[in-house]
Each structure stands twice: as C-alpha cells, then as structure tokens.
Amino acid sequence: MIVRDDIAIAWGLNRMRYRSASAPVVENWSRSTRVFQKKDGQWKMIHQHLSVPADPKTGHARFDLKP
C-alpha cells in the first residue's frame, strides 16, 4: 500500500471460493488495484480494477490458474 496525503493505492491477489448445493467448491484468483481518497476525514474507494490472466493463444481468461 502507498499512502500520500489524501490518496492511497492498494494492490494484491484475491482468492474467491464458492459452492452451490449441486456443485463442488470452485476457486479462482484475480489481481486487484484499489485507489482511495480521504475526504472529510474518511477514506473512500474511488477506483477499483480487477484482472485475471489471459491465454495469449486464445485471448480467453484463465480462471483455473493459481499463484
């Protein structure tokens, strides 16, 4: 995380696990960057970017990869 005056930037990996009654647990990973601004003494998220790796041959997202 980087904090300067009234702007902060955080980044990292997100792990999501979920299941339904009829399916096994599904897990995927993504990378995120979030930008916060301090206004009136409170931090508020003003921007968020999420991305997943893509297969360069097909251009399709690869949700099956793990770090």
Distance CA 36, CA 32 (A): 13
- Our CA angle for 27, 33, 34, nearest 5°, is 115
Class of domain 2-51: alpha beta
Q: pLDDT tens digit string along 17-65?
A: 988 888 888 888 999 999 999 999 999 999 999 999 999 999 999 988 8
**What pTM, to 2 d.p., does this model score?**
0.73
Take residue 15 and report the two structure tokens written for it: 């792990």
- Our CA angle for 32, 28, 2, nearest 5°, is 20
Residue that the structure tokens 């921007």 belong to: 47
Distance CA 28, CA 17 (A): 7
